[in-house]
Chains A and B, each alone.
Chain A
Amino acid sequence: MSAQKKRNFKIEAFKHRVELDPNYAERTWRVLEHAIHEIYNHNASGLSFEELYRNAYNMVLHKYGEKLYSGLVNTMTGHLKEIARSIEAAQGGFFLEELNVKWGDHNKALQMIRDILMYMDRTFVPSNHKTPVHELGLNLWRDNIIHSSKIQTRLLDMLLDLIHRERTGEVINRGLMRNITKMLMDLGSSVYQEDFEKPFLGVSASFYSVESQQLIECCDCGEYLRKAERRLNEEIERVSHYLDVKSEVKITSVVEGEMIANHMQRLVHMENSGLVSMLVDDKYEDLSRMYNLFHRVPDGLSTIKDVMTSHLRETGKQLVSDPEKLKDPVDFVQHLLDEKDKYDKIISKAFNNDKTFQNALNSSFEYFINQNNRSPEFISLYVDDKLRKGLKGVSEEDVEVVLDKVMMLFRYLQEKDVFEKYYKQHLAKRLLSGKSVSDDTERSMIVKLKTECGYQFTSKLEGMFTDMKTSIDTMQGFYSSQYSEIGDGPTLAVQVLTTGSWPTQPSAPCNLPAEIVVICEKFRTYYLGTHTGRRLTWQTNMGTADIKATFGKGQKHELNVSTYQMCILMLFNSADQLTYREIEQATEIPPSDLKRCLQSLACVKGKNVLRKEPMSKDIAEDDAFYFNDKFMSKFFKVKIGTVAAQKESEPEKQETRQRVEEDRKPQIEAAIVRIMKSRRVLDHNTIVTEVTSQLQSRFLPNPVIIKKRIESLIEREFLERDKADRKLYRYLA
């Protein structure tokens, strides 16, 4: 086989070898140029699309694309210059209309031209990096019309003038405006921004600056805000009708800046109409408006919040230091609750339940409630009042509502342990005098306290309830036992109180009347028979008695008195007259209590079952007391006891406070030991912080006291100072 050399076949590309007439290009261009003229002269109907397209196609094909393109540019530019002149010539208001019309024309023309030159647009233009026809048309319009020296400024001025007029109340042609602005947007966002939006914003800023100055001088706060809100809404509407949607946030921030941000302080602090007066008068609508407007500007809400906070703290402080308001504790607490309600309502209705405002409210209340160190006592007295009679006849849900509100105030207290002490005292009095409105309500309150503060807080309180219940059972047992045969002697009702649970008021028992002693001893025997290993002490300062008394003309009354008072009155069964000293000797009641009892028995109108000589209000050692034959009352049952819980006198208050302070010392020490046991080595400041945070649910410990307790613990060798760093403490196991 012989290797044959194959010949390479090559098929050459077809080359059009038709030689063009050199004038071909020129002639073809003329056709197209003429077409463009016709189009611009609204004579397009006579043109053949196909022919023109073919011509353009051919030009490009024969490499005359450059000529075509530059010809297009020149022709179009020429036309545009003419158009510019006609627009410039338009008078007054017709200027914009002319511009608008010509723009529409141009777009139509452009469309047709681009269709004709489609081939060039698709091939020549990209490969030669030229601007596509449509875009070219826009650019040329921009350069020759919009940026023409005679048009540019005039256009802007007209637009701004129209907007200004609309702002001052005139009606303008919004459709026309929309078309013009759309034109600017179509020309490119930088055109819209540079040639319109930026100056628009600048002018608007001045406008609103001036207007806000005027308004602030003559309007009150509420009016001003109404007007500002209206302007804001206007601008938003304006944008939606004839501006680019992206302008909305820009123009609103101008309005916000000029009308609100710049005048924030002045508005808020305006006399008689600013924030404070709105708060005081519960102007929900105005407050809501202010909130919404200020929400839009930086620091707006915090301005409102700060002013509200300082106002609250001021009024709160006044409330808690005004001696008038402090006279009646129940009233005082009611005022606090009313204030809280008021502001809760404001925050929910006008401030959109904003959490930061809620927090500001809470911190303000916490601040001023703790300014008055009697707040814990007063809140307990308020609850006491409600639980005694204030909630009689109120539905169960309403009761819960009231108690929940009180719990809110309770949460603000820093010295919860003081509250606990008073609550215990008041509860004891309520239970023992049987004056509580309902057991369920009492328990409901305890549950709330337990939820808030934990089991330890309420365990003793619950102990008190248990004792009351047990006592009822005990009494039943007593009366069904052999001990209770007394015939027509006095009927005894005993409450046996466990010492640890009840507030202790140690006092020696007084001398009871003989009849009472008998039955009391019987009870003691019965009780100790069933409960060995216990010790009973009569608390004569806490009991009550119902006595039947017959007066001069035979009127019978039933007197409800305290045990002490009973002892005093029973003396008069065997004597008509007794001096203070004699009574004191016979009863052995402590002097201060004795004086108070005698005052209630002899010096109070309508309750004076005893007569005193001399008739003064004060009790002196030599005063003589007589059974008051002439006593009269329209009620059969007369209550004379002095067992209601009252606001403590100054010395009592000091005593309670001292006891609280004493109670705190071991709590602080326990906290220190707990912390040191787990951390082993700790520096001074950290201990103080930890102790404070551990105890904060009960009270706020004083750092100086903490330091003293640490030193005491060092003394007792629970802790030592580190040998190297004297600021460190070490736990000694």
Chain B
Amino acid sequence: MHKLGRGHRDKVQQFMAITGSSEKAAVQALKASDWHLEGAFDIFYSQPHIRTVTDSRHLEELYNRYKDPYVDMILVDGITLLCNDLQVDPQDIVMLVVSWHMKAATMCEFSRQEFIGGLQYLGIDTIEKFRDKLSYMRSELKDEQKFREIYNFAFGWAKEKGQKSLALDTAIGMWQLLFAERHWPLVDHWCQFLQVRHNKAISRDTWSQLLEFAKTVDLQLSNYDEEGAWPYLIDEFVEYLTENGIVQRGQN
């Protein structure tokens, strides 16, 4: 440690605090990322063998703190408590990221496996470590690839168990949450259109294709291709936008 400069030493300490790793691992990761903390985190977490050993006793304790008294699962009350401890709003999108890491099957509940397994993967065994990790998790939303995975994950997570499609109200809520992170100006028109014209549940295909649509088609819809195999709901949305003069489609 004394071979490193002050700035680097600070980084190493920060790294160790957040990831709970050894000094050696911290230095390794930071060197590999050219002493950028964010990059170092990525490297650290994508290398399974540098995983920190979490204390399984702590994890049990944590789980038991939040677990429902009657069922072996963390339910709504437990989650509220967890959010409290984390000093985070339960509606905060970071909870979605948490659920994604845990591979949670349904919103508002975590199974034992999901909770403990997820925290192990993240190298968290205390609330403090958990809290510290939140800002990293928030940053993950800025990554294109991860955002897409989280977005697609959200469909399965938000829908009712046993249903194939996502209820419209829930879908709208999720979209507004997600597109606050990754700005899409047409999201409000989209939600309005659905309520007025569709008023039914959303299929998985429509859900995932919407992100593609938001990413690839520009706001003037000038590169929207009718033959582009978009789901028919999106075709109707385009019609809706042009009919109501919300967008003037420039024909080039």
Chain A positions near chain B (C-beta within 8 angstroms): 683-685, 704, 707-708, 711, 714-715, 721, 726-727, 729
Residue numbers in A under 8 Å from B165 (CB-CB): 715
| Extra pairs beyond A704-B232, A707-B235 (5, CB < 8 Å) | A683-B229, A685-B227, A714-B203, A714-B204, A726-B212
Task: Kindly provide the distance from the CB of A685 to the nearest chain B CB, expressed in whole angstroms.
Answer: 6
Q: B228 near A711 (CB under 8 angstroms)?
A: no
Residue numbers in A under 8 Å from B203 (CB-CB): 711, 714-715
Q: A727 near B228 (CB under 8 angstroms)?
A: yes
Residue numbers in A under 8 Å from B206 (CB-CB): 711
Task: Kindly provide the distance from the CB of A701 to the nearest chain B CB, expressed in whole angstroms.
Answer: 14
Task: Please tell me which one of the listed residues A685, A708, A715, A721 contacts residue B232 in the complex, with CB atoms under 8 A apart.
Answer: A708
Q: Which 5 A-B pairs have the closest CB atoms?
A: A684-B229, A727-B229, A714-B205, A707-B232, A715-B203
CB contact under 8 A between A711 and B231, given known A726-B209, A726-B212 = yes
Q: B227 near A684 (CB under 8 angstroms)?
A: yes
Q: Does B164 interact with chain A (Cβ within 8 Å)?
A: yes
In the bound assembly, the distance between CA atoms of A707 and B205 in angstroms comes to: 12
Q: A715 near B231 (CB under 8 angstroms)?
A: no
In the bound assembly, the distance between CA atoms of A726 and B234 in angstroms comes to: 14
The residue in chain B whose Cβ has the minimal distance to the Cβ of A712 is: B203
Q: B229 near A726 (CB under 8 angstroms)?
A: yes
Q: B227 near A715 (CB under 8 angstroms)?
A: no
Task: Kindly provide the distance from the CB of B138 to the nearest chain A CB, expressed in whole angstroms.
Answer: 27
In the bound assembly, the distance between CA atoms of A684 and B165 in angstroms comes to: 23
Residue numbers in B under 8 Å from A729 (CB-CB): 229
Task: Kindly provide the distance from the CB of B237 to the nearest chain A CB, expressed in whole angstroms.
Answer: 14
Task: Kindly provide the distance from the CB of B145 to the nearest chain A CB, expressed in whole angstroms.
Answer: 13
Residue numbers in B under 8 Å from A683 (CB-CB): 229
Task: Kindly provide the distance from the CB of A720 to the nearest chain B CB, expressed in whole angstroms.
Answer: 9
Residue numbers in A under 8 Å from B228 (CB-CB): 684, 727
Q: B205 near A715 (CB under 8 angstroms)?
A: yes
Residue numbers in A under 8 Å from B164 (CB-CB): 715
**Contact flags (1/0) for B198-219 with A, using CB distance below 8 Å?**
0000011110010010000000
Residue numbers in B under 8 Å from A684 (CB-CB): 227-229
Task: Kindly provide the distance from the CB of A716 to the nearest chain B CB, expressed in whole angstroms.
Answer: 8
A-B contacts, 20 listed (Cβ < 8 Å): A683-B229, A684-B227, A684-B228, A684-B229, A685-B229, A704-B232, A704-B235, A707-B232, A708-B232, A711-B203, A711-B231, A714-B203, A715-B164, A715-B165, A715-B204, A721-B205, A726-B212, A726-B229, A727-B228, A729-B229
Residue numbers in B under 8 Å from A726 (CB-CB): 209, 212, 229
Chain B positions near chain A (C-beta within 8 angstroms): 164-165, 203-206, 209, 212, 227-229, 231-232, 235
Q: Which of B206, B212, B231 has the most CB of A within 10 A?
A: B231
In the bound assembly, the distance between CA atoms of A218 and B232 in angstroms comes to: 61
Task: Kindly provide the distance from the CB of A672 to the nearest chain B CB, expressed in whole angstroms.
Answer: 13
In the bound assembly, the distance between CA atoms of A684 and B231 in angstroms comes to: 11
Residue numbers in B under 8 Å from A707 (CB-CB): 229, 231-232, 235
The residue in chain B whose Cβ has the minimal distance to the Cβ of A704 is: B232
Q: Which of A704, A708, A711 has the most CB of B within 10 A?
A: A711
Task: Kindly provide the distance from the CB of A707 to the nearest chain B CB, expressed in whole angstroms.
Answer: 5
In the bound assembly, the distance between CA atoms of A708 and B165 in angstroms comes to: 15
Task: Kindly provide the distance from the CB of A681 to the nearest chain B CB, expressed in whole angstroms.
Answer: 13
The residue in chain B whose Cβ has the minimal distance to the Cβ of A720 is: B205
Residue numbers in A under 8 Å from B204 (CB-CB): 714-715
The residue in chain A whose Cβ has the minimal distance to the Cβ of B205 is: A714
In the bound assembly, the distance between CA atoms of A683 and B205 in angstroms comes to: 16
Residue numbers in B under 8 Å from A727 (CB-CB): 228-229
Q: A711 near B229 (CB under 8 angstroms)?
A: no
Residue numbers in A under 8 Å from B231 (CB-CB): 707, 711
Residue numbers in A under 8 Å from B209 (CB-CB): 721, 726
Task: Kindly provide the distance from the CB of B160 to the nearest chain A CB, expressed in whole angstroms.
Answer: 16
Residue numbers in B under 8 Å from A714 (CB-CB): 203-205
The residue in chain B whose Cβ has the minimal distance to the Cβ of A716 is: B164
The residue in chain A whose Cβ has the minimal distance to the Cβ of B233 is: A711
In the bound assembly, the distance between CA atoms of A714 and B229 in angstroms comes to: 13
Residue numbers in A under 8 Å from B227 (CB-CB): 684-685
The residue in chain B whose Cβ has the minimal distance to the Cβ of A713 is: B205
The residue in chain A whose Cβ has the minimal distance to the Cβ of B206 is: A711
Residue numbers in B under 8 Å from A685 (CB-CB): 227, 229
Task: Kindly provide the distance from the CB of B171 to the nearest chain A CB, expressed in whole angstroms.
Answer: 15
In the bound assembly, the distance between CA atoms of A726 and B230 in angstroms comes to: 8
In the bound assembly, the distance between CA atoms of A727 and B206 in angstroms comes to: 14
In the bound assembly, the distance between CA atoms of A683 and B227 in angstroms comes to: 10
Q: Which of B203, B205, B227 has the most CB of A within 10 A?
A: B205
Task: Kindly provide the distance from the CB of A227 to the nearest chain B CB, expressed in whole angstroms.
Answer: 52
Task: Kindly provide the distance from the CB of B228 to the nearest chain A CB, expressed in whole angstroms.
Answer: 6
CB contact under 8 A between A711 and B212, given known A684-B227, A685-B227 = no
The residue in chain B whose Cβ has the minimal distance to the Cβ of A727 is: B229
In the bound assembly, the distance between CA atoms of A684 and B230 in angstroms comes to: 9
In the bound assembly, the distance between CA atoms of A721 and B164 in angstroms comes to: 17
In the bound assembly, the distance between CA atoms of A714 and B206 in angstroms comes to: 10
Residue numbers in A under 8 Å from B235 (CB-CB): 704, 707
The residue in chain A whose Cβ has the minimal distance to the Cβ of B236 is: A704
Residue numbers in A under 8 Å from B212 (CB-CB): 726
In the bound assembly, the distance between CA atoms of A729 and B212 in angstroms comes to: 16
The residue in chain A whose Cβ has the minimal distance to the Cβ of B228 is: A727
Task: Kindly provide the distance from the CB of A732 to the nearest chain B CB, expressed in whole angstroms.
Answer: 13
In the bound assembly, the distance between CA atoms of A44 and B185 in angstroms comes to: 113
In the bound assembly, the distance between CA atoms of A721 and B212 in angstroms comes to: 12
The residue in chain A whose Cβ has the minimal distance to the Cβ of B225 is: A727
In the bound assembly, the distance between CA atoms of A684 and B228 in angstroms comes to: 8
In the bound assembly, the distance between CA atoms of A715 and B203 in angstroms comes to: 7
Task: Kindly provide the distance from the CB of B222 to the nearest chain A CB, expressed in whole angstroms.
Answer: 19
Task: Kindly provide the distance from the CB of A539 to the nearest chain B CB, expressed in whole angstroms.
Answer: 38
In the bound assembly, the distance between CA atoms of A277 and B121 in angstroms comes to: 87
In the bound assembly, the distance between CA atoms of A344 and B54 in angstroms comes to: 90
In the bound assembly, the distance between CA atoms of A711 and B232 in angstroms comes to: 8
In the bound assembly, the distance between CA atoms of A707 and B212 in angstroms comes to: 18
The residue in chain B whose Cβ has the minimal distance to the Cβ of A688 is: B227
Residue numbers in B under 8 Å from A711 (CB-CB): 203, 205-206, 231-232
The residue in chain B whose Cβ has the minimal distance to the Cβ of A705 is: B232
Residue numbers in B under 8 Å from A708 (CB-CB): 232
Q: Which of B165, B212, B227 has the most CB of A within 10 A?
A: B227
In the bound assembly, the distance between CA atoms of A715 and B204 in angstroms comes to: 7
In the bound assembly, the distance between CA atoms of A714 and B164 in angstroms comes to: 11
Task: Kindly provide the distance from the CB of B164 to the nearest chain A CB, expressed in whole angstroms.
Answer: 6
In the bound assembly, the distance between CA atoms of A707 and B206 in angstroms comes to: 12
In the bound assembly, the distance between CA atoms of A726 and B209 in angstroms comes to: 8
In the bound assembly, the distance between CA atoms of A726 and B205 in angstroms comes to: 11
In the bound assembly, the distance between CA atoms of A310 and B33 in angstroms comes to: 75
The residue in chain B whose Cβ has the minimal distance to the Cβ of A729 is: B229
In the bound assembly, the distance between CA atoms of A707 and B234 in angstroms comes to: 12
In the bound assembly, the distance between CA atoms of A704 and B203 in angstroms comes to: 17
Residue numbers in B under 8 Å from A704 (CB-CB): 232, 235
The residue in chain A whose Cβ has the minimal distance to the Cβ of B204 is: A715
Residue numbers in B under 8 Å from A715 (CB-CB): 164-165, 203-205
The residue in chain A whose Cβ has the minimal distance to the Cβ of B229 is: A684
Residue numbers in A under 8 Å from B229 (CB-CB): 683-685, 707, 726-727, 729
The residue in chain A whose Cβ has the minimal distance to the Cβ of B212 is: A726
In the bound assembly, the distance between CA atoms of A727 and B212 in angstroms comes to: 12
Q: Which of B209, B228, B232, B235 has the most CB of A within 10 A?
A: B232
In the bound assembly, the distance between CA atoms of A726 and B203 in angstroms comes to: 16
In the bound assembly, the distance between CA atoms of A711 and B203 in angstroms comes to: 9
In the bound assembly, the distance between CA atoms of A685 and B225 in angstroms comes to: 12
In the bound assembly, the distance between CA atoms of A704 and B233 in angstroms comes to: 10
In the bound assembly, the distance between CA atoms of A727 and B231 in angstroms comes to: 10
Task: Kindly provide the distance from the CB of B163 to the nearest chain A CB, expressed in whole angstroms.
Answer: 12
In the bound assembly, the distance between CA atoms of A338 and B204 in angstroms comes to: 55
Task: Kindly provide the distance from the CB of B32 to the nearest chain A CB, expressed in whole angstroms.
Answer: 30
Task: Kindly provide the distance from the CB of A696 to the nearest chain B CB, expressed in whole angstroms.
Answer: 20
Task: Kindly provide the distance from the CB of A717 to the nearest chain B CB, expressed in whole angstroms.
Answer: 10
In the bound assembly, the distance between CA atoms of A351 and B228 in angstroms comes to: 46
Task: Kindly provide the distance from the CB of A211 to the nearest chain B CB, expressed in whole angstroms.
Answer: 51
In the bound assembly, the distance between CA atoms of A642 and B164 in angstroms comes to: 50
In the bound assembly, the distance between CA atoms of A328 and B28 in angstroms comes to: 91
